[in-house]
Chain A
């Protein structure tokens, strides 16, 4: 990693270098194939982390989840696959990510999360995306990925979503486009320039021009995919297709990316080795494997993907073979430059006496401290730049990269 280059960029940002949202993004988006890449994947709905990372030595876990605890795989009986001391991994995730696991490019951070205990999806998603102190006055126009973008001038960011999420709100102009499904070509040049004229002196003008540029970039990047499709080649679909498209754009143009995946609020019948959650986790994992594959080894070495969710779910199953809103979660980190820890961060055992409020996993790895530690390594950010992203937070390096 070219640490020195980022140090100098970060110091420029610290010195208050003005970022012109229009010109800087477009210039950078044309050709940036050398800077580190960071993708944040947000699992909206609070996924059940204890079905992903199974506490393999906890009899308590088996007791309090009589219908949904994952058994360990034995012989030809499918179940959670041993991963590390006291942990095993859901088989639907282990299979597609086996290669990355063997290459030590996949780490899990249990007991991760926020100190927000509202157990509300929306409240907690907001507070995580804003990344501000919980007890202070909140600025809803300042998401932490926007602040991160502001200390990475010259690099461009993209939200792979239909709307710009809270996490990217702020003064730096961030492009967005969903890469799900069919990609459209858009208006012809004369109409584009007429429209640009209409918006020339309007506050939305920069976004309008940016939209045209992104459309063009995407259709250029997807040209080979479209050609393959026209030859009736088998193509990926669902999240796999979306993830591969994200990888193409991030490999060539975007240093910072965000995507969200919904459908994790499993109050009822979440399943076990098979079932709803297993299918959903499997699709996510195979998409992430596709992302790594599409990045290619060279870009993947400079890439870190972090998968987070607003909270974990209750340790005990509820009355409907599902789980309710809880607290601590398990985050995932993937990347070609990971240090190789399979399970990272502070840990404890999972038993009745270690639970938070006698119901949930505790949070031992506060997300802002962990991310600040990660971003410091990833980008070589200066203390002042880091403080701009997560004000007043002491970075904790859990040795991910």
Chain B
């Protein structure tokens, strides 16, 4: 076993070096093939003693390290493998789970994001600008602008997922979006998506569950999507109340009743959306209870000012704070811990994660007051996390992103539209899930015959040429980008050994590199992580 210090930059390969290294590896001189990565000493200290204690010596062989990176991130790119290899799996996990400030992307990607309206303007300004368009006779510019803003959010989401050094955070941002799903084509939610991701989800993606739950419950996108902006005293709308219990926290068998739903709906009255800075005229005793933050509003005139009783709590009437009390209760409920941890384990590891592992995660979740990063550590340090079997079938999001990352590594794409189109074709378009349950994450939902055929089309688009990824929509910028070189050193070092004989044979019998790429990205092994 060679510690990583003796094999620095093992994978830092330029394209020119590729051929050279490749032949060296083939000639059997690649000592890296047997190298193991090891946890550096400084990563062993645990700031949360007694919680998710890291194993003192986490060592992984090459397939194990590949699986760690491939499962934790949006897919193993050379850059990501290289990083994990250099610092070792323990430090890699510690770095990825750290709840640090969201980091900048590589300049070529960050500059694309910096130019977006959703980066430059806060939501309330965007909504103000839209309000003028909305009142115009011709509604088309208004609709076009909404669509453009949603496209900006989608584009940013894809760039971050592909290139952020904080892969686990971006991975979890998608998870949380799907958990707290909203659908873009309702009302003006298209304008709110960027803010929803940036303010409600991303800052808390590795933080505390209570924080993300609260941020979502006070975000106009969710309040609008589940009709809570319409929920008022004597005009009760149960939609958000029900999904908050069923889908966001306790889960359907979490032990709540129809009565709890109705009571929670009353707690939720008055929490809504206001597009402008104009504040409604209120009776004097209500004026101090009014809240307006961004486009979120709590309007006491719409709130049900009677006591409520739900989930064993008696909620004293007092306005906006009633909801916080209920969310405190829900976020720490054992049914929530079980539900959320099971869902994370199914998302990251397997359709049927080991029950003992989910229990360990739930224990961490409860003892850390719902700390997501710590809960993830319990999962990522578990020996089960890097075992080969059973493996997790990629849903379309994982399939498409991992294919682009494998094919182009850290060469930043100029156009995210092909990626978004592929996701739509595969039925898992960003922000396109109409129902609040989010997209399913199990193999049987995504492995049908029709699905496989479309994946092969996409593999061909990526493998044969650049699939339109390296030219802008208006053609103003285009980069010379031929087809990718997937048969490179990382293939020989990490993945070839993990292929079945049928796959190897098909690859070996393929003369053209384009067809080789298409087959590699279509192989059964590439469908799993």
Task: Report which A residues bind B (CB closer than 8 A).
Answer: 44-45, 118-123, 141, 159, 161-164, 169, 173-178, 184, 186-187, 191, 194-195, 197-202, 204, 207-208, 210-212, 214-215, 262-263, 265, 267-268, 318-320, 322, 324-325
A sample of 8 inter-chain contacts (CB < 8 A) reads: A118-B252, A175-B448, A184-B457, A187-B456, A198-B502, A207-B449, A267-B239, A318-B237
State the CA gap A118–B246 with chains docked (Å). 10
Contact call B239/A120, Cβ cutoff below 8 A: no
Stretch among B197-205, B283-291, B398-406, B504-512 lining the A interface: B504-512
Contact call A198/B506, Cβ cutoff below 8 A: yes
Contact call A202/B524, Cβ cutoff below 8 A: yes
Given A194-B506, A198-B523, A121–B453 Cβ distance below 8 Å?
no
* Across-interface contacts of B502 in A (CB, < 8 A): 197-202
Contact call B452/A268, Cβ cutoff below 8 A: no
Contact call A162/B450, Cβ cutoff below 8 A: yes
Given A119-B258, A191-B515, A267-B227, A162–B239 Cβ distance below 8 Å?
no
State the CA gap A214–B456 with chains docked (Å). 14
Chain A, Cβ-Cβ closest to B527 = A204
* Across-interface contacts of B446 in A (CB, < 8 A): 163
State the CA gap A325–B261 with chains docked (Å). 12
Q: How far is the CB of B29 from chain A (nearest CB, A)?
A: 30
The residue that A121 contacts in the complex, of B435, B450, B503, B527, with Cβ under 8 A, is B435
State the CA gap A265–B237 with chains docked (Å). 13
Contact call A198/B524, Cβ cutoff below 8 A: yes
Contact call B232/A202, Cβ cutoff below 8 A: no
Q: Is B31 part of the binding interface, using a Cβ–Cβ cutoff of 8 Å?
A: no
Contact call A194/B510, Cβ cutoff below 8 A: yes
State the CA gap A212–B238 with chains docked (Å). 46
* Across-interface contacts of B230 in A (CB, < 8 A): 267-268, 319-320
Given A195-B522, A210-B449, A163–B427 Cβ distance below 8 Å?
yes
Contact call A320/B237, Cβ cutoff below 8 A: yes
State the CA gap A322–B452 with chains docked (Å). 40
Q: How far is the CB of A315 from chain B (nearest CB, A)?
A: 15
The residue that A318 contacts in the complex, of B235, B450, B506, B527, with Cβ under 8 A, is B235
Interface residue SS majority, chain A: loop
* Across-interface contacts of A194 in B (CB, < 8 A): 506, 509-510, 515, 519
Given A163-B427, A198-B506, A324-B237, A122–B437 Cβ distance below 8 Å?
yes
Given A199-B524, A324-B239, A162–B427 Cβ distance below 8 Å?
yes
Given A175-B449, A178-B427, A263-B434, A268–B227 Cβ distance below 8 Å?
yes
Q: Which B residues between 410 and 446 are near A, CB-CB below 8 angstroms?
A: 426-427, 434-435, 437, 440, 444-446
Contact call A122/B435, Cβ cutoff below 8 A: yes
* Across-interface contacts of A123 in B (CB, < 8 A): 246, 252
* Across-interface contacts of B426 in A (CB, < 8 A): 162
State the CA gap A267–B453 with chains docked (Å). 37
Q: Is B451 part of the binding interface, using a Cβ–Cβ cutoff of 8 Å?
A: yes
* Across-interface contacts of A211 in B (CB, < 8 A): 449-450, 452-453, 456
Q: Among B445, B449, B509, which residue has the most Cβ atoms of chain A within 10 A?
A: B449
State the CA gap A44–B519 with chains docked (Å). 37
Contact call B234/A319, Cβ cutoff below 8 A: yes
The residue that A163 contacts in the complex, of B448, B505, B522, with Cβ under 8 A, is B448
* Across-interface contacts of A207 in B (CB, < 8 A): 447-449, 452
Q: Which B residues between 342 and 359 are near A, CB-CB below 8 angstroms?
A: none
Contact call B524/A176, Cβ cutoff below 8 A: no
The residue that B450 contacts in the complex, of A177, A187, A322, with Cβ under 8 A, is A177
Q: How far is the CB of A14 from chain B (nearest CB, A)?
A: 27
Q: Which B residues between 201 and 255 are near A, CB-CB below 8 angstroms?
A: 227, 230-232, 234-239, 242, 246-247, 252
Chain A, Cβ-Cβ closest to B239 = A267
State the CA gap A284–B447 with chains docked (Å). 28
Chain B, Cβ-Cβ closest to A320 = B230
Chain A, Cβ-Cβ closest to B393 = A204
Chain A, Cβ-Cβ closest to B252 = A123
State the CA gap A120–B515 with chains docked (Å). 47
Contact call A202/B509, Cβ cutoff below 8 A: no
* Across-interface contacts of B434 in A (CB, < 8 A): 45, 262-263
* Across-interface contacts of A173 in B (CB, < 8 A): 449
* Across-interface contacts of B523 in A (CB, < 8 A): 198
